[in-house]
Amino acid sequence: MASAATALQSADAAAPVAVEMTDVNKWYGDFHVLKNIDLTVRRGERIVICGPSGSGKSTMIRCINRLEEHQKGRIVVDGIELTNDLKRIDEVRREVGMVFQHFNLFPHLTVLENCTLAPIWVRRMSKSDANERAMHFLERVKIPEQAAKYPGQLSGGQQQRVAIARALCMNPKIMLFDEPTSALDPEMVKEVLDTMVSLAEEGMTMLCVTHEMGFARQVADRVIFMDAGQIVEMNEPAAFFSNPQHERTKLFLSQIL
């Protein structure tokens, strides 16, 4: 668990907008999964999203890089509105890194190759530059010695750190995390959270779905509670935890804290 150390300096309230969601609605068939989502995230802000299983947390962050499509409302990422225009979707995906619960590494590629694939093929980087960059980020996540191994030879915590390094190799402006520690054995949670804390300290714009409330207290500028497809409550961590406003938030917190 992340220690409840002093909170980081808050994000700059006047910083440019990184992600703007305005009245976003989404349906899976008849099922209304996101309801009137309004959210403005500024550059450098760290947002933690929590809420019960099935409340729409993954769907919401997946809409930000168009892994899911919204049907109503607007999503603007770093000034680019997400529409059906594939070129814009590509542009947004280049700016947004994503880390999943189950790592999603390519099992047949080495750690190094996992990290260089997109820079070479999407960014058109030379192999030697991509290798150099990959080693830089593998050092940052403290596993340069694993570069020649395959994902299956690594622990879960190491694999997740590779997934973070892989995302960073694309030089993203925004990082999305979808329950990055929930598939890990408890002893590996800290190494992944420490990596995320160091990213936060460097000023990365982050939206993290997680129930690691120690992490939320330590790094979040705002904590969002979602339930049944809605943002029920959003507040800075101290107020969110000490004085939740809604019954549903109180109930949820009483179950997980």
65 binds ligand ADP (CB under 6 A): no
Which region, judged by CB under 6 A, interacts with ligand ADP, from 28-36, 88-96, 106-114, 239-247? Answer: 28-36
Q: Which does 121 bind (CB under 5 to 8 A by kind): ligand ADP, Mg ion, none?
A: none
45-82 as b/e, with b when 16 or more CB fall inside 10 Å?
A: bbbbbbbbeebbbbbbbbbbbbbbebeebebbbbebeb
**57 forms part of the interface with ligand ADP (CB under 6 A):** yes
SS3 235: strand
- Contact track, ligand ADP, 123-162, x by CB under 6 A: ----------------------------------------
Segment near Mg ion (CB under 5 A); pick from 58-66, 114-122, 184-192, 243-251 = 58-66
Q: 102: which DSSP letter?
A: T
Residue 59 lies near Mg ion (rule: CB under 5 A)? no
Instruction: Select from 45, 48, 56, 151 the one that contacts ligand ADP (CB under 6 A).
Output: 56
What backbone torsions phi and psi does residue 134 show, to the nearest 5 degrees? Answer: -60, -45
Nearest approach, Cβ of residue 151 and Mg ion (Å) = 22
Least Cβ distance, residue 209 to Mg ion (angstroms): 6
In sequence order, the 6+-apart residues with CB closer than 8 A to the CB of 241 are 213, 216, 217, 223, 253, 257
Question: Rounded to whole angstroms, how far apart are CA atoms 167 and 95?
Answer: 10
